[in-house]
Amino acid sequence: MDLARNCRPLLAAVTGMMAALFFAVGASGQTVVNVALPTGQPPMVIEKSAKRGLVFDVVDALNSMQGEFRFQVDDYPAERLMVSYDEMDVHIIAYSDAKWGWGDRGARPSLNLTNGRDLFFTLGGYERDPSVTEEIAAVRGFHYAFANYDSDLLSQMPNVTLVSDEESVLRLVENKRVDKGIVSEAFLQWIALSKPEVYSRLKIDFDRPDHSYNRQILVLPNSPVSVDQINDLIWKMIASGRLQSLYARYGLHVPDALNKSRSNTLDPVRYFSSLITLGAAAQGNAW
């Protein structure tokens, strides 16, 4: 009895290790790759519970293209992700930018998947009182050039109304609760597709963006899948036209540098030359 009782802790530990190994490899023998979402904003993520949005579609495509890895999206708390990512068993960050602190944490970026901008917009025909300070709607915790990329400074600006997401920014502008809002160009493209009647009422300042950025798939040091393997899958989606099709669902366009490479796949020399050139460019952009 004593021997059995003394062995229970060891048995529990072994069982736990076996369970962890089982889930890491997966029931099908595939290696699990945990994917974190850096944003809950449309169109990247439209509805987490229903797994709607571009990120979910791209992850599904990655899973259908190969059998070695099983990419699974997990909802990690955004505020904790940057601080505790190494304790949370996160392997890759989907559609973030290495410049947003991840490069300093050892993340390697894939090829650039979007060329993004944050844009100011107003309601068409709206005229504000010039004697009153302009009121701006923005997303709490985001980093904008007009606030020196400082979210703490942003929260202290008296003429800024902070909300939880870009859809709320849009509603404030629509209801004339603020003079103008700031959202991503990707969000506006999604609105143009999903709510054209709303988009038609907006006056968007395309010529003076707040700032520009790119998004990539970021591969963390503990990831079982390499950045080269991710890039290989991206190129295959580009060559088949699948990535372009997924983007079109949300009113988005694949960056020109990637899209043009599709025609190069017919010429092996030009194709592999483009891989080298664009791969080097992606590394340079991230640091």
Tell me: the pLDDT tens digits for 113-154? 999 999 999 999 998 888 999 999 999 999 999 999 999 999
d(CA 89, CA 222): 8
Residues 6+ apart with CB under 8 A from 154: 138, 140, 142, 143, 144, 147, 160, 162
pLDDT at 34: 96
pLDDT at 264: 52
Q: Give the whole-number percent of the chain exceeding pLDDT 90.
A: 70
What residue has token string 């169109």?
Answer: 43
* Beta-carbon-side half-sphere exposure of residue 148 (alpha carbons within 13 Å): 6
pLDDT at 5: 54
Q: What does the block give as tokens for 125? A: 């025909």
Tell me: the pLDDT tens digits for 56-78? 999 999 999 999 999 999 888 77
Say if CB 182 and CB 169 are below 8 A apart: yes
Q: What does the block give as tokens for 98? A: 């290495």
DSSP state of 22: H
Low-confidence ranges of the chain (pLDDT < 50): 3, 11-23, 265-287
Say if CB 182 and CB 119 are below 8 A apart: yes
d(CA 105, CA 282): 17
d(CA 271, CA 276): 9
Delineate the domains of the chain, giving CATH numbers in brackets: 2-115+214-286 (3.40.190.10), 116-212 (3.40.190.10)
pTM score of the predicted model: 0.81
Q: Measured in Å, how far apart are the chain's first and last C-alpha atoms?
A: 61
The stretches of the chain forming alpha helices (DSSP H) are 2-25, 54-65, 78-84, 151-156, 166-174, 185-194, 196-199, 227-240, 242-248, 256-259, 261-264, 268-286
Cis peptide before 43, with omega less than 30 degrees from 0?
A: yes
d(CA 3, CA 118): 65
pLDDT at 272: 45
pLDDT at 28: 66
